[in-house]
Structure 1
Amino acid sequence: MKKTKIIYWIFTVLVLLLMGVGAVPSIIKSEDSVKLIHDHLNYPVYFVPFTGVAKLLGCIALLVPGYPRIKEWVYAGLTFDLIGAIYSFICVGDPASGWFPLVIGLACIAGSYIYYHKLRKLKAASNGTSYSGNTAFA
């Protein structure tokens, strides 16, 4: 279980760094965030702090112990955010070098999600209870 927990936290910290640190400039509507999201991707300015707050709340929810259903929604939301960002960059004609780092972020989210469920399954087995979560990746 120790190895699984370490791998889970490595992936989760990478997700928190990618999404959490990236959320702060959006929340404060920094000039660079507005240029990227509004000027380059053509989203409305009010969308900038909204996405930042949503990402930051998602990161906080990943850190709070318990609440497995909320964590499922957080993983889904962060995944939708990155897929939407990749799609947006492709639609405005950006080269792969502009959006490929987001694919790495998706891989980190997938790793965190997979190991989250492996860890829950191991904890349930050690407690003698059955695990009824998503077993597709376990």
Structure 2
Amino acid sequence: MHTTTMPQQATDEKSAPAARKDRDSSRIRLIAFWATTLVIVFELVAGSVWNLVPIEWIEIQLKHLGYPHFLAYVLGAWQVGAAVAIIAPGLPLIKEWAYAGAFFLWSGAVASHMAVGDGFGSWSAAMFFTICAIASWMLRPADRRLPRTRLLRDRTVGAGQNEAGLPGAGVRGWTVALGILVVLYAVSFLTLPVVEDVMHENAVELGWIDE
């Protein structure tokens, strides 16, 4: 009797630290996912506001890079869609497109600035957002992935929840997502006057315009 239970007890004792390690790893992964996701969604939201207004910084930058003025409105409209798709629960296929679009947007900005001879300071922010977009895409939970791209561990998670047990594509999930977007848009609009002053000074320092 004791001979048969001892191996089982030893196995349970060994599995407890492993389970704890898995939980800690999942928690860290989820925190990293939301940190990078909120960064890129906020940038998409702010970028859509800046492009659709558009502010002076956008007009100066487009002129500096040799792009037409109307590109601001095209980018602004797609940034709204990408922000909604990435922050919303579910919609795995649309998320793939949104992440791809965000990657092309920011990596394209890096390439554009490098092509006209701009220094690191001009494209470092775009590079940072490109890295965050890649990280967010790689770390996204099971309910935000296409079935064939889910990690082996993710396949054990229920269809209605992600690996942290947060609500999936239900009413609560959409309410949280829309609430985040409303807050981010409110912040973007309220800070617009300050942003315009700061970016004007930045354009002067870069030599794109005269004081």
Q: TM-score, normalised by structure 2?
A: 0.55
C-alpha deviations, 1:56-76, integer Å up to 9, x for none? Answer: 210111111111000001110
2:31 is matched by which residue type in structure 1?
Answer: I
SS of equivalent residue, structure 1 residue 66: coil
2:55 to 30, 42, 64: 30
Matched, 1:110 2:141: no
> Which residue number corresponds to residue 12 of structure 1?
37
1:53-132 alignment, distance < 5 Å: 53-116=77-140, 119-120=141-142, 121=151, 122-127=153-158
Moved more, 102-111 or 17-26: 17-26
Larger Rg: 2
The list of structure 1 runs, each at least 4 consecutive aligned residues, that deviate by more than 6 angstroms after superposition, is: none
In the TM superposition, residue 123 of structure 1 has moved relative to its aligned partner by 4.6
Moved more, 3-12 or 62-71: 3-12
Gaps of 5+ in 2: 1-25, 143-150, 160-211
Identical pairs, percent:
26
Tell me how many residue pairs correspond in the alignment. Answer: 125
C-alpha deviations, 1:22-48, integer Å up to 9, x for none? Answer: 2211011222211111x1111111111
SS of equivalent residue, structure 2 residue 90: coil
SS of equivalent residue, structure 2 residue 68: coil
C-alpha deviations, 1:99-127, integer Å up to 9, x for none? Answer: 122111111001100111xx214553133
Give the Cα–Cα distance (whole angstroms) in 1 for the partners of residues 90 and 158 of structure 2: 16
2:156 is matched by which residue type in structure 1?
Answer: A
In the TM superposition, residue 18 of structure 1 has moved relative to its aligned partner by 2.1
Give the Cα–Cα distance (whole angstroms) in 1 for the partners of residues 107 and 157 of structure 2: 36
2:155 is matched by which residue type in structure 1?
Answer: A
Superposition CA RMSD, Å: 1.6
> Which residue number corresponds to residue 136 of structure 1?
none
Q: TM-score, normalised by structure 1?
A: 0.83
In the TM superposition, residue 86 of structure 1 has moved relative to its aligned partner by 0.8
SS of equivalent residue, structure 1 residue 78: helix
